[in-house]
Amino acid sequence: MRLMIVGHLEGHISTAGKIALQRGAKVIHCEDTEQALGALRNGKGADMAMVDVKQNIAGFIEQLDAERIHMPVIACGIGTDARAAVKAIQDGAREYVPLPPDADLIAAVLEAVTEESNTMIANDPAMKSVVQMADKIAPSDATVMITGESGTGKEVMSQYIHRKSKRRDGTFIAVNCAAIPENLLESELFGHEKGAFTGAAGRRIGKFEEASGGTLLLDEVSEMHPSLQAKLLRAIQEREITRVGSNDPVKVDVRLVATSNRNLEQSVQKGEFREDLYFRLNVVNIRLPALRERASDIVPLAQFFADKFAEQNGLPKKKISTAAKDILAGHGWRGNIRELENTMHRAILMSAQDEIETDAIHLQSSGMTAPAAAQAASPDPAGVSGAGQPQESGAAQAAPPRHQGAVENMIGRTIADVERDMILNTLDHCLGNRTHAANILGISIRTLRNKLNQYKDDGVDIPAASTGH
């Protein structure tokens, strides 16, 4: 984990950095937010920033968004200044940490915000064979293609391979090729020079250089434009990149892992994906089974997520009742592990009994039972396949929209309408608790509030906020 410390606060924030170092984090210190932005542009990446509340946190976060630098920001201030804490959260900070720092609190924040976990639940035979395959190939530098349905955990598997590799002490960088506009993805991957295009106010180091010595994940690589595919192929073959606006090649040393949301062999046949790039990326192919194909992992995963979200929300941990287990085991899990995770997040918030009861389990109809789904999936018994499967997007799976049912029922409706119903329905599930709803939806509390204000202006009835939220 890479931590960026910004500011001084009478030396207390540096003490927090020392605690983080003792907990295994790599720490970089910057005098102010301008220096921090300069360091980030020059490839000194971070997974999280702890920033003095006296700094311009709102401006810092806005600039991070403008330059597509995705990193949670934690505000730090001396004592328990409630006004400063509230303002920092309103400005977009993920958390507020009072100083002088408490070692256990710093450790908890590092774990909670970055959501780092080495847990790999893989007791089902279908998943055990996949993990065994990953263990065999991880120590090499071979490029890996990971395929599987949406929500099966391909990024988690990528991180697992990195941790098991000889590059484990290097950086793990993930780039979602589908989430970045085509005209900006080249700059994101390879970097750019000052003045290379409108808005390029300074040199920016790309993800290839930032990940040098470590692992670079190209998430949803099948969404990459053909013209950029050719440049990616050259970068893999020559082990060098050229920044946008420059003619000088830069040597890089990265191990590539790629995922796909399509069947890449079919994409090659249709001319949508370069065949030579496909073979360069598909040196080792690992197919992650759908959750319905690893049925014996469903309940252990559900309990793991229930415990995780109980701790995050300051709630008592609860066991899952036998009846609720039966419901979970019998569901088709079209959204796979991501759907299960969000189901258990809702369940721990909604549960009113000593055990998680059936009424707390809210499931979206999958259109098929688990056995039927498993039969339709025709799983590869080895758990490793050469064909790509639909893959997850970078956004979290939210609660079922108010207009429930099959995807066909959404045809003719705008994305904005579907998004609105999804947000409002999640808020209903959370009894108006904005913080919990934002966590489930995978968006910031500020984004949620902006959306709700927009809906209110449009005359939509908004669920009342629960006390204190």
For residue 246, give the nearest of 299, 190, 201, 301 by alpha carbon: 190
Res 372: pLDDT? 39
Q: Specify the number of domains making up the chain.
A: 4
In the chain, the percentage of residues whose pLDDT exceeds 90 is: 34
Q: What is the CATH number of the domain that holds 141?
A: 3.40.50.300
Do residue 243 and residue 132 come from a single domain? yes
Q: Is the dihedral of CA 125, 287, 301, 218 positive or negative?
A: positive
Do residue 130 and residue 107 come from a single domain? no
Summarize the confidence of residues 228-234 as an average pLDDT.
Answer: 94
Position 407 pLDDT exceeds 70: no
Residue after which a domain boundary falls, among 377, 394, 417: 377
> Does 393 reside within a domain?
no
Res 151: pLDDT? 87
Residue partners of 93: CB distance under 8 A and separation at least 6: 51, 57, 61, 73, 74, 75
Top-confidence range, 116-120, 343-347, 433-437: 343-347
Can you give the residue range of the structural domain that contains 341? 291-377
Which contiguous run of DSSP H or E holds residue 61?
helix 57-66
Res 283: pLDDT? 95
Position 415 pLDDT exceeds 80: no
Range with the poorest average pLDDT among 71-85, 138-152, 282-296, 406-420: 406-420
Position 214 pLDDT exceeds 70: yes
Do residue 109 and residue 237 come from a single domain? no
Do residue 284 and residue 300 come from a single domain? no
d(CA 131, CA 12): 43
Summarize the confidence of residues 330-357 as an average pLDDT.
Answer: 92
Residue after which a domain boundary falls, among 270, 288, 306: 288
Q: Which amino acid type is present at position 271?
A: G
Ordered alpha helix ranges (H), 219-295: 226-238, 264-269, 275-281
Position 444 pLDDT exceeds 90: no
For residue 337, give the nearest of 71, 127, 110 by alpha carbon: 127
Do residue 279 and residue 138 come from a single domain? yes
Res 404: pLDDT? 39
Res 119: pLDDT? 63
Give me the residue label for tokens 């890479």: 2
Res 401: pLDDT? 40
Range with the poorest average pLDDT among 22-36, 220-234, 295-309, 333-347: 22-36
Give me the residue label for tokens 């170092």: 21
Summarize the confidence of residues 88-111 as an average pLDDT.
Answer: 77
Number of H helices, E strands in the chain: 19, 12
Res 319: pLDDT? 97
DSSP string, 378-432: ---TTS--SS------SSPP-PPPSS-S-GGGGTTS-HHHHHHHHHHHHHHHTTT
Q: Which residue has the higher pLDDT, 144 or 193?
A: 144
> Does 448 reside within a domain?
yes
> Does 179 reside within a domain?
yes
Position 397 pLDDT exceeds 70: no
Res 133: pLDDT? 95
> Does 388 reside within a domain?
no
**What average pLDDT is seen over the chain?**
81
For residue 68, give the nearest of 165, 189, 172, 170 by alpha carbon: 189
Q: Which residue has the higher pLDDT, 237 or 115?
A: 237
Residue 114 binned pLDDT confidence (cut-offs 50, 70, 90): low
Res 329: pLDDT? 94
Q: What is the CATH number of the domain that holds 412?
A: 1.10.10.60
Q: What is the CATH number of the domain that holds 327?
A: 1.10.8.60
Q: Which residue has the higher pLDDT, 436 or 404?
A: 436
Do residue 236 and residue 220 come from a single domain? yes
Residue 367 binned pLDDT confidence (cut-offs 50, 70, 90): very low
Position 364 pLDDT exceeds 80: no
Q: What is the pLDDT of residues 4-44, one digit of tens each?
A: 888 876 667 777 777 777 766 778 888 899 998 888 887 77
Do residue 295 and residue 306 come from a single domain? yes
Do residue 36 and residue 55 come from a single domain? yes
Q: Which amino acid type is present at position 393?
A: S
Do residue 232 and residue 316 come from a single domain? no
Do residue 136 and residue 277 come from a single domain? yes
In the chain, the percentage of residues whose pLDDT exceeds 70 is: 84
Res 351: pLDDT? 93
Do residue 418 and residue 436 come from a single domain? yes
Q: Which residue has the higher pLDDT, 444 or 409?
A: 444
Do residue 24 and residue 91 come from a single domain? yes
> Does 438 reside within a domain?
yes
> Does 398 reside within a domain?
no
Query: Three-state SS for 217?
Result: strand
Per the CB < 8 A criterion, the answer to whether 187 and 204 are in contact is: yes
Residue after which a domain boundary falls, among 114, 148, 168: 114
> Does 464 reside within a domain?
no
Range with the poorest average pLDDT among 108-117, 225-234, 285-294, 441-450: 108-117
Q: What is the pLDDT of residues 66-75, one digit of tens each?
A: 777 878 888 8
Res 373: pLDDT? 40
Res 53: pLDDT? 87
Q: Which residue has the higher pLDDT, 386 or 60?
A: 60
Q: Which residue has the higher pLDDT, 288 or 393?
A: 288
Res 383: pLDDT? 39
Q: What is the pLDDT of residues 261-295, one digit of tens each?
A: 788 899 999 998 999 999 999 999 999 999 999 99
> Does 327 reside within a domain?
yes
